[in-house]
Each structure stands twice: as structure tokens, then as C-alpha cells.
Amino acid sequence: MSTAHAPKEADVMAGSGSGSTSPSPRSGRSGRDALGSALAGGYLILCAALLVWAVVVSNGDNPDASFAGVIPIFATAPVSMVFLVLPDHASALYIAVGLGALVNAALIHWCARALRRGLKRG
């Protein structure tokens, strides 16, 4: 009988064997990283919903329909305002809001991670 596949007694006691039920030190870290990603993901979902709302409202017959695109631009400022200098095309709003939302979501994730690291040290 070969013992190559059986876990060593020291591994089982330390929780590093295949039957380990104790959480690894990395599992807590991935949970904290998921919070930052959830905040950034929630922001991206909010920006996408605002963009869809602006498109739906601007295609309607409302007197203020032309101002609907301002809301997603403000939600993704300041990056989206930089991209508003793109040539006047139908996709300019989508590009400006999309890139602005991605940059801001990356900043939200970075800030959440930096705050978590600061709280962990203190």
C-alpha cells in the first residue's frame, strides 16, 4: 500500500490537508477585496442604469428630454467631461460615460482597498 496520496499527520493538524475545514488566511482577504469590487460594481451598474434612463427619456416626447444626457455625464465626472470634446457623433455620449464610469470605478476600488489597509494597520 502506497502512502503517497495520504496526507501527513502534521498537515492534517495544521489544516493544510485536503480535508481542511478551517479558513485559509487568504479567504478573509478575498472577502475584503470583494467588498471593494462590489462598491465599484454597484457604481458601474448605477451609471449603466442612468445611461439607459437618459436614452429612454431623450427618445420620448418630453420638453426636457434634451437635458437627460446631463445626468449620466455628471455621475461620471470629471473623466466623462474630458471625453465630451470628442467629435459630435451619436456614440460620443456612450464613450464619454463608459470611460468615465470605468475610471471612476477603478478609483472607487482603489480607495476602498486603501482604506481597508489603513484600518488593518491601525
The domain spans of the chain are 30-121
In this predicted structure, what is the pLDDT of residue 5? 52
What are the angstrom distances between the C-alpha of 19 and each of 3, 7, 12, 14? 16, 9, 8, 11
Question: Using H for helix, E for strand and C for coil, what is the string for the chain?
Answer: CCCCCCCCHHHHHHCCCCCCCCCCHHHHHHHHHHHHHHHHHHHHHHHHHHHHHHHHHHCCCCCCHHHCCHHHHHHCCCHHHHHHHCCCCCCHHHHHHHHHHHHHHHHHHHHHHHHHHHHHHC
Q: pLDDT 10s per residue in the chain (122 long)?
A: 555 555 454 444 444 444 445 444 444 555 555 556 888 999 999 999 999 999 998 888 877 777 888 999 999 999 888 887 878 887 888 999 999 999 999 999 999 888 888 766 66
In this predicted structure, what is the pLDDT of residue 12? 44
Instruction: Note the pTM of the prediction, 2 decimals.
Output: 0.66
